[in-house]
């Protein structure tokens, strides 16, 4: 089971805006691609800050430590990807919900939708045969 944190937009014009589901845990995409992996998640601010830090460290640190620094930065970013994404969501004005345990993101979204009823959904009618 994985944990997914729903991030809803309170300023959404839709009655029931679907949340962005952020998976808690390690991110292999960010481990391999570093700050580019953060950009693919939509974390623009933290991705560009990590890119600037990587470039500055590459410029100011001796070349024999380059690989160790790059691997360390990638491991650090991959470990804290969920927290970085949640921080960025809060900066964008989204509200965090309670974590939802689910085997996949789609099932977590269904479980979130079960907890929140839509004001525009049609009412349920009693069965015609009763």
Please state the rounded mean pLDDT for residues 40-53: 93
Q: Which residues contact 37 (CB under 8 A, 6 or more apart)?
A: 27, 29, 30, 31, 77, 78, 81
pLDDT digits (tens, 9 = 90+) for 47-61: 999 999 988 888 887
Question: Would 124 be classed as within a structural domain?
Answer: no
Cα separation, 25 vs 81, in Å, equals: 8
Question: Would 97 be classed as within a structural domain?
Answer: yes
Question: Would 123 be classed as within a structural domain?
Answer: no
**Residue 23: per-residue pLDDT:** 93
> What is the DSSP-derived secondary structure letter of residue 124?
P
Question: Would 67 be classed as within a structural domain?
Answer: yes
55 in Cβ contact with 11 (< 8 Å): no
pLDDT digits (tens, 9 = 90+) for 59-93: 887 677 788 888 999 999 999 999 999 999 999 89
Please state the rounded mean pLDDT for residues 92-114: 91
Q: Rounded to two decimals, what is the model's pTM?
A: 0.80
Say whether pLDDT at 40 is over 90: yes
Angle, vertex CA 14, rays to CA 124 and CA 18, nearest 5: 80
**What burial class does residue 4 get, using C-beta atoms within 10 Å of its C-beta: 0-12 exposed, 13-18 middle, 19+ buried?**
buried
Cα separation, 27 vs 102, in Å, equals: 17
pLDDT band at 16 (very low <50, low <70, confident <90, very high): low
Question: Would 92 be classed as within a structural domain?
Answer: yes
Question: Would 130 be classed as within a structural domain?
Answer: no
Mean pLDDT of the chain: 86
Strands (E), 34-124: 95-96, 100-102
**Residue 130: per-residue pLDDT:** 53
Q: How many domains, the chain? A: 1
Range of the domain at 60: 2-10+18-115
**Residue 107: per-residue pLDDT:** 93
Question: Would 121 be classed as within a structural domain?
Answer: no
């Amino acid at each position: 089971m994985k944990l997914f944190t729903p991030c809803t937009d309170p300023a959404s014009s839709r009655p029931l805006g679907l949340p962005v589901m952020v998976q808690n845990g390690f991110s292999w995409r960010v481990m391999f691609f570093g700050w580019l992996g953060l950009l693919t998640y939509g974390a623009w601010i933290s991705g560009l800050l990590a890119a600037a830090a990587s470039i500055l460290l590459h410029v100011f640190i001796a070349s024999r430590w380059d690989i160790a620094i790059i691997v360390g930065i990638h491991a650090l970013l991959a470990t804290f990807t969920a927290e970085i994404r949640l921080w960025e969501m809060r900066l964008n004005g989204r509200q965090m919900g309670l974590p939802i345990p689910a085997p996949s993101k789609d099932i977590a979204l269904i479980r979130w939708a079960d907890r929140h009823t839509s004001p525009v959904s049609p009412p349920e009618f009693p069965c015609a045969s009763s």
